[in-house]
Amino acid sequence: MTEVTREVFGHLPQKGGGGAVEKFLLKSDSVKVEIISLGCIITALETKGRDGKLSDIVLGFDRLEGYVNKHPYFGATIGRVANRIGNGKFTVEGKEYQLALNNPPNCLHGGNKGFDKVLWTPEVLLNGIRFSRTSPDGEEGYPGELKVWVTYTLDGGELAINYRAQSSSTTPVSLTNHAYFNLAGQGSHDIYNHMVSIEADSYLPVDDTLIPTGEVAAVQDTAFDLRKPVELGRHMQKFQLPGFDHNFCLEQSEARRYCARAHHPPSGRTMEVYTTQPGIQFYTGNFLDGSLEGKGGSVYPKHSAFCLETQNWPDAVNKPHFPSALLWPGEEYNHTTWLKFTAA
């Protein structure tokens, strides 16, 4: 059984339009998840270690103010298009669209005011919560009115996130969640002792602005071969890697499939990721710099968390040989990602 409760988390500043932000608690016998109606943000995720004790394993803030101020997308739903679009430009049906260059020279995570920065309408379900909103035609420069639903459901140790969208005009869509994990517990200094594996035979090399070059490269005999578990710190040292911020190419299938695993040996916590998406962005918190005060007064230095963001391949709208990022009128975007938490 999953218990679902709700409370007011805070109020948005009047100058931004105001509005009450609610917090929803999803609770099973082994997992507790807190999600707010601003950006469908996961603000807390508690899972049990080997010792049976719960720890909060996602980065974030104690109060709404932290999420209203600039932050690196902690726990947020990202849209209309996750990741980067090269030069913030794309062409659909012969018309060029220019987006905000909020990560110069590119557009990142939907633009200046993406899906992470807006209030969603909540609907409580038996075992979870569904958020919905309508993104107006032209919002952040994107074509078409887009209706979007993001649904979180908790079943025992498994959290499912389903994304659905319908558009009035052809538009690129790629939705993800940007939770930052540390299985030792949020506020722990680094992720170097985590064991990570990703079920991918290829990855996307990037240029110096983190846009894929267009090459789909084999992971074999490279630092990106994570098909067998590696200890992150040792692996990054061995290959002199400053960190990961790369898309790994998954098997193309609409069915649920296993794609990644992270394990923290000292606590026994394990997270497995399953998805219907064609890609997963593995990011090791390279831009965290310890400047933000997180939950319980924690600071979050570089490499103090990792993200496993299931999504379409970055800049797919400008790369015809990548999986299509376009949603056509009359069709439905429908993807699900499952996070399975265990301890051993």
Residue 258, annotated as binding a ligand: no
Catalytic residues: 178, 309
CATH number for 218: 2.70.98.10
Q: What is the pTM of this model?
A: 0.98
State the CB neighbour count (10 A cutoff) for residue 158. 17
Q: How far apart are CA 55 and CA 31, in angstroms?
A: 10
3-class SS at 132? strand
Residue 106, annotated as binding a ligand: no
Residue 50, annotated as binding a ligand: no
Q: Which residues contact 60 (CB under 8 A, 6 or more apart)?
A: 41, 42, 43, 44, 66, 67, 74, 75, 186, 294, 295
Q: What is the C-alpha end-to-end distance of the chain, expressed in Å?
A: 23
Per-residue pLDDT of the chain (344 residues; tens, 9 = 90+): 999 999 999 999 998 789 999 999 999 999 999 999 999 999 999 999 999 999 999 999 999 999 999 999 999 999 999 999 999 999 999 999 999 999 999 999 999 999 999 999 999 999 999 999 999 999 999 999 999 999 999 999 999 999 999 999 999 999 999 999 999 999 999 999 999 999 999 999 999 999 999 999 999 999 999 999 999 999 999 999 999 999 999 998 889 999 999 999 999 999 999 999 999 999 999 999 999 999 999 999 999 999 999 999 999 999 999 999 999 999 999 999 999 999 98
The count of domains in the chain is 1
Domain residue limits at 221:
3-343
* Helix, strand, coil distribution of the chain in percent, nearest 5: 10, 45, 50
Residue 127, annotated as binding a ligand: no
